[in-house]
Amino acid sequence: MSIFSEKFSLSNAQWSVIAICFFCNMLDGMDVLVVSYSAPAIANDWNISPSSLGLVFSSGLVGMTIGAALLAPLADNLGRKPVMMLAAVVMGLFTFFTATVSNTSPLMIYRFLSGLGIGVMLATTATITAENSPSYSRSFWVSFVVAGYPVGAVITGIFAVPIIENSGWEQLFIYAGFISLIALPLIILFLKESEAFIEEQKIESEKGMSLLLSADRRSNTIKLWLALFMCFSSLYYLLSWIPKLTSDAGLPMHLALYAGMVFNFGAVIGVPFQGYISSRFGLTKMVGGILVLTTVFLLTFGFFQGTSFMLVLLFLLGFGVQGGFVGLYAIAANLYPTKIRTTGVGMAVGVGRVGGIIGPMIGGLLLTIGLNMTESFFVFAIPTLIAGILTWQIKLK
């Protein structure tokens, strides 16, 4: 048996948890990106402005922020499984209902509500994966599961265009909602509550937000929150503006259209790679190093402006910034004990998502004042570097 198979082997029950959580994160990636892929068709059908669409995008992000920070912690009291079941229902139903809307107001409401489910699901899957993984390979499996998110985004991108062109954007939401609801019977039938959570429930102990900022955790918690805030701001800036920026920078239009997919494909490779090297050489050291390396990619991007090699750099950026971002999920899952693990992960992700809301806004402002792609990347190299340095300073036991 190889060293890899020995170190990363799982029981059948553990494999079931990993597979279901990976699938649920694929659904998250699908449900988040489905509105982005549908946006041009919706704008054309309803004759609405980009600013109106921006409010739709923001409503989903606000829902994800609240879901992660305020609702996911319920899993520390009610259990991971029932909260995941509820999240699957909310995601599926409100994504499905989106196909019935005819103006922006209900669209914003449904995106907000589906965002609540997405935020809860991302935090809870990371938690239950951590609790069902061997301690020595926990960071790998948490990263692997969260990698389902960009996988879902890439697959959605492949199928979105032909579905919209042949059947309309409404059909894309119908498919996405139906597929999301498939998670519910899988969770009910095959997902077992973690033994760590069951044992913890037998003990009367203090829980809640206050424990995240107790004297022995305060420093690590604040560093984690700030690192995620900075990382989310860079990540969502790149996700939001890459197609336009690459086109403005001289990349041929037919290649610029693939820029976002290349960026996400970099994550598909980078996230599990980050999980593997982190489990071997140290989680905070490797994740911090990846984010610092991503800073170098951002700073050197201008040397390749206007050439096809820009796509290679975009792949490396996706590899780095999303590998580091997912690594911070793994750090959060390792940082907190079972009784507050979902609260810790959820709050960290919720704070991070505030950065995800602010990052694209700053990107738009930079474009408005006339900064080009290279100059904008210099600006966002700063939060990426800060995230890397803060990650190095987090102390895991």
pLDDT at 124: 94
Neighbours of 41 (CB within 10 A): 17
pLDDT at 243: 67
d(CA 31, CA 148): 12
Domains of the chain are 12-198 (1.20.1250.20), 208-397 (1.20.1250.20)
**What is the mean pLDDT of the segment spanning 331-336?**
93
% residues pLDDT > 70 (the chain): 93
d(CA 159, CA 264): 15
pLDDT at 3: 45
Residues 6 or more apart whose Cβ sits within 8 Å of residue 192? 13, 16, 17, 81
Phi-psi group of 109: left, alpha or beta (phi > 0 → left; psi -120 to 50 → alpha; rest → beta): alpha
d(CA 389, CA 397): 19
Say if residue 7's pLDDT is above 70. Answer: no
Contact 24, 183 (CB under 8 A): yes
pLDDT at 179: 94
Neighbours of 198 (CB within 10 A): 13
Provide the residue count of the chain: 397
Per residue in 269-308, pLDDT (tens digit) is 888 889 889 988 899 999 999 999 999 999 998 887 777 7
- 206 φ, ψ (degrees, to nearest 5): -70, 140
Per residue in 103-134, pLDDT (tens digit) is 889 999 999 999 999 999 989 999 999 999 88
Contact 50, 43 (CB under 8 A): yes
The conformation of residue 302, written as its DSSP 8-state character, comes to G
Q: What angle do CA 284, 132, 24 make, to 5 degrees?
A: 90
Say if residue 371's pLDDT is above 60. Answer: yes
Q: Which of 21-35, 44-58, 285-299 has the lowest mean pLDDT?
A: 44-58
d(CA 118, CA 92): 10
Contact 390, 292 (CB under 8 A): no
Contact 216, 339 (CB under 8 A): no
Per residue in 221-257, pLDDT (tens digit) is 999 999 999 999 999 888 777 766 776 777 665 566 5
Enter the pTM of the model.
0.85
pLDDT at 205: 67
d(CA 118, CA 111): 10
pLDDT at 113: 96
Virtual torsion, Cα 155, 160, 166, 168, nearest 10 deg: 140
Say if residue 314's pLDDT is above 80. Answer: yes
Question: Reduced to 3 states, what is the DSSP secondary structure of residue 282?
Answer: coil
Neighbours of 44 (CB within 10 A): 10
Per residue in 206-220, pLDDT (tens digit) is 666 778 988 889 999
Per residue in 54-100, pLDDT (tens digit) is 778 788 889 999 999 999 999 998 999 999 999 999 999 999 999 99
pLDDT at 66: 94
Q: What is the DSSP string of 191-207?
A: PPPPHHHHHHHTS----
- Which segments within 67-162 are labelled E, that is strand? none
Q: Which of 15-19, 195-199, 318-322 has the lowest mean pLDDT?
A: 195-199
Q: What is the DSSP string of 337-378?
A: -GGGHHHHHHHHHHHHHHHHHHHHHHHHHHHHTT--HHHHHH
pLDDT at 52: 76
